[in-house]
Structure 1
Amino acid sequence: MKESKVLEYKESVTNQFLKTVSSYANFRTGKIIFGITDRGEYIGFNNVNQVILDIENKINDSITPKPNFTLSIQKNNTICLEVEKGIHKPYLYKGKAYRRSDTDTIEVDQLELKRLVLEGSNLSFEALESNASSFSFDTLSKILIENLNIKSVTDDLYKTLGLININDKYNNVASLLADNNNFSCIDIARFGYSINEILDRVKLSNISILSAYQTAIETFERYYEYDQIEGMYRKPVTIIPKDAFREALANAIVHRHWDINSHINIAMYQDKIEITSPGGLPSGISEFDYLENNISVLRNPILTNIFFRLGFIEVFGTGIQRIKEAYSEAAVKPQFIISDTSIKIILPVINAKPKVTKDESVIMEELKSGYVLSSSELVERTPFNKSKVIRLVNHLCESGYVYKVGTGRGTKYRV
């Protein structure tokens, strides 16, 4: 197996591995295999028991607080160290916290360190007391009265919604929902035939996120919905599924990092919409879990609950699946581009045609009837060898025409 975010190889035991121990304990359970080269060659140890003792002593003496870990002897006298993701964060090595970036281990920045401190204290940025001096909730009150069918809004309701803490102080979620605040909300840009042709632009800042959400929906309706006249009747037409846009927008709002002074970017094109949210996946959830397993780790549970109560989102953890379902009959599917710092969802127009090569169309033809096939099965069904099939399906996945199902040797592909 190749090195990854959760797997590292070490030929020998030096203090460098302690940075990786810090990263696994802070962010994600992972393994370090000692006695194996970066190329995967086994060299092992002659004095395995002494090496295990050295590793254990180094961790106990150098990582604060002590993480949970196990050590075991593997084949060819190599040693496996498995470090569990901990709850008493941050886990520090020489006073610094670390994280994995692909196959490298790097020091976290000050913002990430603050998040680890909050997480270790079972707190979140949204629940912290707001620095704002005054609050007005005209937009929130109006929407609550309309959507919850109540006559008036009181402080008790705000407490129930989680906007007021035990000390009767408003938190950051309250500030985000207030009519005036210090948050960067949503930046909407509509482009012509290229990114150099900007037809419309609106930056929504320092207003209730609910107002920004409504403005984004209205902008979508203005440019992607229209009436088509058929005989004596008007037929409403939506060229991008509205449910998919609403889900993607709500997802971007409730799952983003609000401690970053950055907008959610909505780029509107003639053939697609791109919604980019600051902040990657929450700690503890994989890309496969996010895209395929309907697993949702709530980064902002208070805000998510409010959007759920208002009917802006459906059941927790089903947003991605609902976006996919909106495109169930479309030839071109939505794309999900995930990095450490952002999540981008690309929603194509519903009648878009796949832009594929002749060879890629052969792969698509085998998958289009609902088959879920492995690369080996595609080799049997097509005139291509294994390396070419893998190259073709990887490009089709990057283009959003094909999805991966499963991981490792169990990976299969479907339209």
Structure 2
Amino acid sequence: MRETRNLEFKEQLTNTFLKTVSAFANYGTGTIKFGVKDDGTIIGVQNPVDFCLNIENKINDSINPHPDYSLKIDDETNVVILTVKQGSNPPYLYKSKAYKRNDTASIEVDRSELSQLILIGENKTFDSLNSTNQRLTFSILEEALQDKLGIEKLSSDILITLNLKQKDGSYTNAGELIADRNNYRGIDIVRFGENINIILDRVSFEHVSILKQYQQSIQKYQQYYQHEEIIGSTRNIVSLIPEEAFREAIANAIVHRIWNINSQIKVSMFEDRIEIVSPGGLPQGLSRDEYLSGQISILRNPIIANIFFRLGLIEQFGTGIRRIMNTYQKSLIKPQFEIFANSIKIVLPVLKYIMNDLSDESAKIYEAIRLGSNTTAKLVKESKFGKTKVLKILNQLIEQGYIAKIGRGKATKYVISSDRS
């Protein structure tokens, strides 16, 4: 047994546990076990009933507002178990400071995170607040609505309906972000050469409408990852990376990022992949599995999301990740999603290993070899197929020219054919 993000051990009662109470109440239900050493050794506590009373007094006197928690005594070990539930009225403060979990430690949140907690506690979103910039124009939005919805002219009533403007005439933060000009950092795109020390191209799209930033990003993608191929009388567009996947990833980054921090969306373009890093981790209440499966959608910027939805830039809320994955169905290399406390990275690989003539089972063996499983034993373990089946698939792949066999007997290894790598 060891400490985790949602589990902390305390040998005795000191006020430091109150930082963790704040962290669990703010960001996710967790447990503190008293009478347990850092290494998981159980030592118990003396007078557990009085111990619980002291915990209650400290929490009630020190955490504001009062969190929802429960206490339990393990009668066999005299370990006191404190469970703190994630609250609906953040921020939960200890000595006027809010805390979060950073791996197994409880640390103070920064100013931007505190702002997010305050908004959640007030049941508000950043894009719904009044903008400090009230001199806005919307020609880019007007043109987009004319093309998509057929409106003749963008009126004040339409801006109010879209929640870009309040009934009192003031513009929201969403209004400023959608407007022709704004005061926000945007998207930084870098095209690298053989390594990150070689920069072939760099451009930043900022202080302009996020609708324009979206379109400019698509154009950069098309410049480097699409080309025309003429076969007979037919002219085809060949995409090294699926355009739909890139569109979804960029739209995702714009719609779901935290806007009230001075940071850009970073797009790194390499020969074999595109990496898109968006400021801000997962919205509160959304787990990694829920994010990846698209079963639940928690919108950090619902007004902006609604605009992108109306313009057809995103489809049903919460389906972006699944749509990205669907564009790679026939690819042996899949997109990657890395989720950090303060950012999310999406990696879109070049469609380099598409093989329509391979069955799913053959493709699985091929991909395992490509990733380093180069012996029969390793392939059996990786694929969970029987040895006879693996050998049959290997022979088929050799005949088709996808892989090559090196060595004999126990020294036999399998590698990707040189013309396939």
The CA distance in 2 between the partners of 1:360 and 1:27, in whole Å, is 45
Asked if the contact 1:18–1:93 (Cα under 8 Å) also holds between the matched residues in 2, the reply is yes
Cα deviation 1:25-80 (Å, max 9, x = unaligned)? 11111111111122112222242211111111111111111111111123522121
Count of aligned pairs between the two proteins = 373
AA at the equivalent of 2:182: N
1:357 aligns with 2:396: no
The CA distance in 1 between the partners of 2:189 and 2:334, in whole Å, is 22
Larger Rg: 2
Asked if the contact 2:373–2:379 (Cα under 8 Å) also holds between the matched residues in 1, the reply is no
Shift, 1:165, TM fit? 2.4
AA at the equivalent of 2:50: Q
The CA distance in 1 between the partners of 2:267 and 2:287, in whole Å, is 24
Cα deviation 1:297-319 (Å, max 9, x = unaligned)? 21111111111111111111111
- Which consecutive unaligned segments of at least 5 residues does structure 1 have? 382-415
1:73 aligns with 2:95: no
AA at the equivalent of 2:60: N
Tell me the equivalent position of 1:395.
Answer: none
AA at the equivalent of 1:67: P
Tell me the equivalent position of 2:125.
Answer: 124
What is the DSSP-based 3-state SS (H/G/I as helix, E as strand, rest coil) of the residue aligned with 1:43?
Answer: coil
What is the DSSP-based 3-state SS (H/G/I as helix, E as strand, rest coil) of the residue aligned with 1:97?
Answer: strand
Shift, 1:361, TM fit? 9.0
Cα deviation 1:63-122 (Å, max 9, x = unaligned)? 111111111123522121111111222111112111111110011122222222222111
AA at the equivalent of 2:63: I
Asked if the contact 2:127–2:173 (Cα under 8 Å) also holds between the matched residues in 1, the reply is yes
AA at the equivalent of 2:39: R
Identity among equivalent pairs (%) = 48
The CA distance in 1 between the partners of 2:153 and 2:294, in whole Å, is 40
The CA distance in 2 between the partners of 1:210 and 1:305, in whole Å, is 13
| 1:126-141 superposed matches below 5 A | 126-141=127-142
TM-score by length of 2: 0.84
Tell me the equivalent position of 1:55.
Answer: 55
Asked if the contact 1:271–1:352 (Cα under 8 Å) also holds between the matched residues in 2, the reply is no
Asked if the contact 1:294–1:320 (Cα under 8 Å) also holds between the matched residues in 2, the reply is no
What is the DSSP-based 3-state SS (H/G/I as helix, E as strand, rest coil) of the residue aligned with 1:358?
Answer: coil
Cα deviation 1:114-159 (Å, max 9, x = unaligned)? 2222221112221111111311100011001111222222111111
The CA distance in 2 between the partners of 1:208 and 1:361, in whole Å, is 55
Asked if the contact 2:294–2:321 (Cα under 8 Å) also holds between the matched residues in 1, the reply is no
What is the DSSP-based 3-state SS (H/G/I as helix, E as strand, rest coil) of the residue aligned with 1:308?
Answer: helix
Change in CA separation of 1:169 and 1:363 when aligned onto 2, cut-off 3 Å: farther
Asked if the contact 1:294–1:321 (Cα under 8 Å) also holds between the matched residues in 2, the reply is no
| 1:229-240 superposed matches below 5 A | 229-240=230-241
- Which consecutive unaligned segments of at least 5 residues does structure 2 have? 355-366, 391-421
What is the DSSP-based 3-state SS (H/G/I as helix, E as strand, rest coil) of the residue aligned with 1:57?
Answer: helix
The CA distance in 2 between the partners of 1:339 and 1:348, in whole Å, is 20
TM-score by length of 1: 0.85
1:64 aligns with 2:64: yes
AA at the equivalent of 1:16: T
What is the DSSP-based 3-state SS (H/G/I as helix, E as strand, rest coil) of the residue aligned with 2:8?
Answer: strand
What is the DSSP-based 3-state SS (H/G/I as helix, E as strand, rest coil) of the residue aligned with 1:199?
Answer: strand
Change in CA separation of 1:145 and 1:364 when aligned onto 2, cut-off 3 Å: farther
Asked if the contact 2:98–2:109 (Cα under 8 Å) also holds between the matched residues in 1, the reply is yes
The CA distance in 2 between the partners of 1:169 and 1:147, in whole Å, is 26
Tell me the equivalent position of 2:6.
Answer: 6
Shift, 1:360, TM fit? 9.0
What is the DSSP-based 3-state SS (H/G/I as helix, E as strand, rest coil) of the residue aligned with 2:83?
Answer: strand
